[in-house]
Structure 1
């Protein structure tokens, strides 16, 4: 006959063993549900970019491949005057491009002030994968791109060149909210009112891997050699696989001053939601430069490792695109300070 005391002891030991087994399964992912893929990006041209990225994610592809593929769409769009081959040039009439890419493990690459290469995002990835460096600029970035087999092209389109000649009549340089076009009489600028700026894209794949990409032609009519936040890791883009990812849009100088995307990710690390982190990062800029902030735009977009999304901007008008299994064409307005 089994002693009652021995029976209770055996029962308790069995329950403890089951609990330990369940805990082990949870930590090894045996009970964990596969994460849902999602891709988000800045502005309305992010919708088409998301579709291209989703084609990769929907097949179980890597988030890094998804973001590179996605942002290549606006880089190639001849109607987009703030990203890629149809971007507006600097005040000397030279079109220079910036881009960065980063994965969940902290691997990253970037190019800045790159000329004559249609897809700077792909050059940035080569910098990440084939060099010991993070950032290549100017002639060095071009030399590297050509060595990697990229084709040298004249990217300045007739429309962009015409816009530059129109700007030269006044040479007035003033940032415009929600646009990297600068005010010199937008009626004369082809597509001026529809020009936004940088595309930043963040993706989460079905394996739970995060990645991000950011690419731009920078501010129209900028000083030759000016570099904004987009190719600066921690400013225009930051990814941490244990926490989340963030990207930015707007006046890059303000983002750089505050290490904006890194700040958003660190705030998420401290327990803020993506929305709360974006809001706090925007308020950091507003509080430090309250007078300047009234006349400029900066927006942040973030996603944590669970696929939760948030966005916030200084001014109204910033929108972001969301694509997942439930929503393919989602374009949402970001909340704003003003």
Structure 2
């Protein structure tokens, strides 16, 4: 529990980092925020988004930095919103520079098992770090889960070319939480044998069908379609449907990732309308809660690393088959 002004570092001021910053404007705790990114354009964009969110009218103080030299040696919270390729190095550099009370790490956590180990070593205490697989904290999903009972279940995510490599971990984690089971394997044999350019430069995406198995018998299938138009970025779409089946009960969810309006319908006719909050909407309550209680509802680092290990092993197998090369990391973020 933190008292007085809280110090927060946001490492990585790109699309997501700047949305975290916007969200912090609504925090009730007084904040001293340090935004760090070597890219001057990213820093400037983040500050302009802070101002758009009314941040300059609050009592919070924000400064932008290209490196860590001017960042305090003690921080209440570090948010690592870099891309996956540099996240292990960024986490190590932050941990070397400062004593960090709590961490929030973006997903995909890393691109290899070795890099996962580097993050765990740098963070030191995995129970003071959480990974932003936010689905388990979404009120709409929590409402469905409350009216469902636990596992085992069968589930599916389908429709659209939504980016299996980038986004599957959200759903894999959601169902681990939903059923209170551990992810134990992914089957990549039905993925398409083509690697497509991701919407994030230098990264790749996949389409086809990914199957998942859990420790209590839960199974899932996540499918993403190839883009209809040549040149369309994979991952620029959203799944059109999610379904979760248990015994005779079925939840059928249309537009499960909509930030405006989706609908969940159960076989008995029960219906819940809902939406997914934007990161800028989620951040204030998350950070206020962390500062007040020292914990939050996101996935703890230890649990997330174990899920990422299973997921990355499967993807590495797939990339090796497709490329014919003995690669040791997958270019995803």
TM-score (norm: length of structure 1):
0.25
TM-score (norm: length of structure 2):
0.25
Larger Rg: 1
